[in-house]
Chains A and B, each alone.
Chain A
Amino acid sequence: MVKSRKGISYVLEVIIAILVVISFSFGIVEYTGQEQDWSEYRGEIAANDLTYSLYESGHMEVFVQHSNTGSLKTAVNAISGRDTEISGSIQNIPLNEINMGFHTLQEDVHDDLDVTEVSSGDRCYNDLEEIEEEKVDGDILRTNDDFEDNYNVRLYFADTGAVFSEDVSYDSLWVDNSTSCQFSNEDGPFYLDEIFLWGDRETVDPNNHFAFKGIENQDTLTVHNASQVHNFREMFRESLNGIPTDTSVNTFTFDESLSDFNVVVFRQADSLEEIQGNEAQLSNYLEDNYALFLLESDIGQNNFQNSFLDAAGFEWLAFPNTGEIGYNDPDYEGGQSGVQFTESGRSDQVLTYFRGLRGEPFNLEMSPPGKIKSNTDEGITTEKPILEGLKRYDSSELEVEETLDSDHTYTGDPEYCERYEDTLEFPTGEYGVINSILEAEGCGAVASNIDSENNDEYEMGPYLIGEEFVLDNINYMAFPTCQDESEDCAEFIFTGNENIELIPHRSELDNVDGGEEIAIASYEEEYEEQQLKVLGALIYYMSEDEIHFEGQESSTDISTSVIGSVDNEAHIPYKMDLRWSR
């Protein structure tokens, strides 16, 4: 009996030992090999090294400066020698090919200028060889008009086939200035929509830039005033921080399509009137593009009210009870003032581009475009706008201070020691205000409540001294007891940004679903150099885009990133993300 029990115990022991060994050995027998993909490991090392080398040698900066993704791809492919392709994106670089459209007021449109065929007896009859050479069809036309007398310069027109359209028969223009019937490269041909100088810089006669808008019925010429547009174009010809830019400018009226423009510019309050009736066309355009409005600093509230800008969500600083807000400085009437950029990302970005255009902030003075405010979620004033002036609004007009009556209806609520109540006039309306003395181990702090819904519920508050709140989009801070220990006194002080906002800006438009940006700045007949530069910087900021480019192969999981900068007058950082494939 003992024997067999012993024997069984051996068996049991061995079975257990076998089980133990088997479970340990699973590790070895199950070995299926490494999962490490060494080719991807090598690929990652190479990709990181090559990205860094292109950056360190300075070539990456040149590629980015010129938005030259093609060269970047060719360089990677050539240097890696393994048919390596990359695709990816570059962020934070302004679009360097911007198409700008300047709206032209009706008063600047001249659509009734006479033109006629060149015939015998005319000063250049049979002497227009340069034009004859380029002409494809039809006769040569010339101006026949007061403008010609004004500028002492005749214009000639012909069809050179530059514009492929059946509706257009005269697409080219030449300017015959003092060279008499001879035309150098500067005298033409100017094609449809191009800006030319009507006049001669060499003489004392006046001269002006115009945009050539076309000839109808072979007898009527249309041009748009374009002197100011020409100044903008000259400013954009400068490179931005060494980044060459290619900006084209055009003029337009609403009977043309806006689809080719990246940015449209409206000038003067009159343009707001001309938008009326064309809101649909403008809204459509704003779904994917942006607009800049340049308005005179003395624009009145009635120009703004009910305009497209009003509908977009901008606000005029005027309130039902207190009227239009004034300025702190009694001598200031809304003219030019010194400026400061703020600490917001947007302001910083515009400042960077401004410096990139060799702008000097301390030499910049601007007027506000009337009393227009961005009016974003923050409240009627923007804490850190793109650009603010050194002059301030008179915020005392927005303040409320009043002694309240005792509340005789108060019967003694265990929460309060005492209550005072009155109706106070706020800038935006009348609201009931209560000062209550809170019970907390004896009568203590005073708090104010406001009946903003006018339903006796006083749901706004209780606000202790120094607490902030927003009522009707205005930022206030409460000071119950009015800083002089009188518990029945309620005081509310404006806490928004008092500095005048020089460039109101909205990136959400109330009247356009998914609309892009609108910025507003002041209009000047003639802009100073620094002012043109800040407008240029603003436009570059609004045009910032991401450049995407694709390689020719499908990508692997290998990706690298570069954060670099284009350094010149300013430091413009960029981020590049690359995906690699072999």
Chain B
Amino acid sequence: MRKAQSTIEFAGTTLLFISLLGVLLASGVDVVPQFNSDIETTELHIEAERVTTEMLTNPGYNIEGNSNWHLDDEELVAFGLADQSFRINNEKLNSIDTLAEEDDEVSYNDFRSLVDASNQYRFNFIWFPIVQSNDNFEKESPPDEITEPIHDSYDEMDDVIYYGSTRLRGSRANFLVGAQDGSYNTLYFSEGNWNFLSSDPHRVNEELMIGNDVYEIESFQNREDKPGTMLVLRKDVTEFGAQIDRSDSVYRLERYAVLDDDSSHDHPIRLEVFVW
């Protein structure tokens, strides 16, 4: 029996094979970071969607199995803000605080470990009360219950005034919406009644005090053939999460739900999510 022998062909072909592997490795290595970063982005998005969906569809539970976890300071085993899908419980929202100085609050760190997050998050909760103002009257002939404002700017408004109302945090907020030259851009506000005698005019981006809270005027409806029939307010409710690290790629995601509060009408809430 002859033993295998190292020959020139053997050595040459081995070398050739090794160099091929080397070439492949070299070209492959370039691809790997790209592949890695794609995987990271995918993971980040999928996690962000999972975490926020859980927040918006789970009520959260404490160690005793109670979903009203905000009422006591028992430890949480599952995190969530919504007793019903996509309805954020206002009281639970008030029980989360990035630094959680109190025992019955959920801190950012608690949150991250509860939802098993491997990325960093920052959340902004912004509430958008919508006031539908489909009814209207002509200036100087308001319905009996409404007392018009006495103000120069009111006198200069177009003839047709729209009015509407909503309940915000226990206050009944009543509004008159007026136009200048066909564009609805001014509101008058009265709390609890329709007496606008001493009301001042307010425009977009101005602040408005309703009850004990500050709201901003976000937008007036001026489109198509029904201008004046709606008004959108804005209130920044709370911020929660880490400081945004600009050195990393930060992705922004938006989720929406309804803010569920016994002392207010239902209005949409925007959840701005920054994840990195």
Q: At the interface, is chain B mostly helix, strand, loop or mixed? A: mixed
How far is B218's CA from A3's CA once the two chains are assembled, in angstroms?
89
Cβ of B246 under 8 Å from chain A: no
Asked if B254 and A71 make an inter-chain contact with CB atoms under 8 angstroms apart, the answer reads no
Task: Tell me which residues across on chain B come within 8 A of A73, comparing CB atoms.
Answer: 223-224
Interface size on B, residues (CB 8 A): 57
How far is B14's CA from A22's CA once the two chains are assembled, in angstroms?
16
Cβ of A306 under 8 Å from chain B: no
7-40 of chain B: CB within 8 A of chain A = 7-10, 13-14, 16-17, 20-21, 24, 27-28, 31, 34-35, 38
Contacting residue for A49 out of B20, B218, B251, B255, CB 8 A: B255
Cβ of B257 under 8 Å from chain A: yes
How far is B86's CA from A18's CA once the two chains are assembled, in angstroms?
57
How far is B87's CA from A102's CA once the two chains are assembled, in angstroms?
50
Asked if B218 and A78 make an inter-chain contact with CB atoms under 8 angstroms apart, the answer reads yes
- B266 to A, closest residue via Cβ: A57
Q: With A25-B24, A70-B227 as given contacts, are A53 and B31 in contact (CB-CB < 8 Å)?
A: no
Task: Tell me which residues across on chain B come within 8 A of A2, comparing CB atoms.
Answer: 2
Cβ of A8 under 8 Å from chain B: yes
How far is B87's CA from A22's CA once the two chains are assembled, in angstroms?
55
Asked if A56 and B258 make an inter-chain contact with CB atoms under 8 angstroms apart, the answer reads yes
Asked if B254 and A74 make an inter-chain contact with CB atoms under 8 angstroms apart, the answer reads no
Q: With A38-B41, A41-B45, A53-B258 as given contacts, are A66 and B219 in contact (CB-CB < 8 Å)?
A: no
Cβ of A6 under 8 Å from chain B: yes
Q: How far is the CB of A40 from chain B (nearest CB, A)?
A: 11
Interface 0/1 of A32-70, CB less than 8 Å to B: 011010100110011001101110111100100010111
Task: Tell me which residues across on chain B come within 8 A of A69, comparing CB atoms.
Answer: 224
Task: Tell me which residues across on chain B come within 8 A of A38, comparing CB atoms.
Answer: 41, 45, 251
Asked if B128 and A29 make an inter-chain contact with CB atoms under 8 angstroms apart, the answer reads no
- B268 to A, closest residue via Cβ: A53
Task: Tell me which residues across on chain A come within 8 A of B35, comparing CB atoms.
Answer: 31
- B267 to A, closest residue via Cβ: A57
Asked if B266 and A62 make an inter-chain contact with CB atoms under 8 angstroms apart, the answer reads no
Cβ of A440 under 8 Å from chain B: no
Cβ of B130 under 8 Å from chain A: yes
1-29 of chain A: CB within 8 A of chain B = 2-3, 6-8, 10-11, 13-15, 17-18, 21-22, 25, 28-29
Interface size on A, residues (CB 8 A): 52
Q: At the interface, is chain A mostly helix, strand, loop or mixed? A: helix
- A66 to B, closest residue via Cβ: B134
Interface 0/1 of B220-244, CB less than 8 Å to A: 1111111101101000000000000
Q: How far is the CB of A237 from chain B (nearest CB, A)?
A: 16
Asked if B130 and A34 make an inter-chain contact with CB atoms under 8 angstroms apart, the answer reads no
Asked if A45 and B86 make an inter-chain contact with CB atoms under 8 angstroms apart, the answer reads no
Asked if B232 and A33 make an inter-chain contact with CB atoms under 8 angstroms apart, the answer reads no
Cβ of A162 under 8 Å from chain B: no
Asked if B227 and A10 make an inter-chain contact with CB atoms under 8 angstroms apart, the answer reads no
Asked if A49 and B86 make an inter-chain contact with CB atoms under 8 angstroms apart, the answer reads yes
How far is B207's CA from A437's CA once the two chains are assembled, in angstroms?
94
Asked if B9 and A18 make an inter-chain contact with CB atoms under 8 angstroms apart, the answer reads no
Contacting residue for B31 out of A6, A21, A28, A56, CB 8 A: A28
Cβ of A147 under 8 Å from chain B: no
How far is B13's CA from A15's CA once the two chains are assembled, in angstroms?
8
How far is B14's CA from A15's CA once the two chains are assembled, in angstroms?
10
Asked if B132 and A59 make an inter-chain contact with CB atoms under 8 angstroms apart, the answer reads yes
Q: How far is the CB of A26 from chain B (nearest CB, A)?
A: 10
Of the candidates B31, B227, B230, the one having the most CB atoms from chain A within 10 angstroms of its own CB is B230
Q: How far is the CB of A14 from chain B (nearest CB, A)?
A: 4
Contacting residue for A79 out of B34, B86, B220, B256, CB 8 A: B256
Residues of A within 8 A of B (CB): 2-3, 6-8, 10-11, 13-15, 17-18, 21-22, 25, 28-29, 31, 33-34, 36, 38, 41-42, 45-46, 49-50, 52-54, 56-59, 62, 66, 68-71, 73-75, 77-82, 244, 549
Pick the 8 closest A-B CB pairs, nearest first.
Answer: A7-B9, A70-B223, A70-B224, A14-B13, A78-B219, A49-B256, A57-B266, A71-B230
10 contacts between A and B (CB under 8 A): A7-B10, A18-B16, A42-B253, A49-B254, A49-B255, A57-B266, A57-B267, A68-B226, A68-B229, A75-B130
